[in-house]
Amino acid sequence: MLDAAKARGLRSGENPDARRGNRALLLPRRKKDEQNHQATMPFAQVPDFMIKLRQLLALSARASS
C-alpha cells in the first residue's frame, strides 16, 4: 500500500518496513502453536446476525454493508 501511494504521489520517503528485519525488531515473536481461530457461525444464524449488525452505528459494523 505504501509503495502504491508513493507511486501516485500521495506520500514520499521509503517504506519503513522495506529494510529487512524491521518487523522482527518491532513486533513480538509469535509461538508456532499459538492460534486464535474464531468458531464459525452456523449458516442458519447469518440472516439474523446481519440484521443486528446493520443496526449498529460502529464503523467496524458498517464496513460489512
Ranges of residues in the chain whose predicted pLDDT is under 70: 17-25, 34, 64-65
Question: pTM of the entire structure?
Answer: 0.41
Q: Where are the domains of the chain?
A: 1-30
What gap in Å lies between CA 37 and CA 32, rounded to an integer?
14
Tens of pLDDT, residues 19-37: 666 666 677 777 777 677 8
Grid cell for residue 34:
499459538
DSSP per position, 3-46: HHHHHTTS--S--TT-STTHHHHHSPPPPTT---PPPPPPGGGH
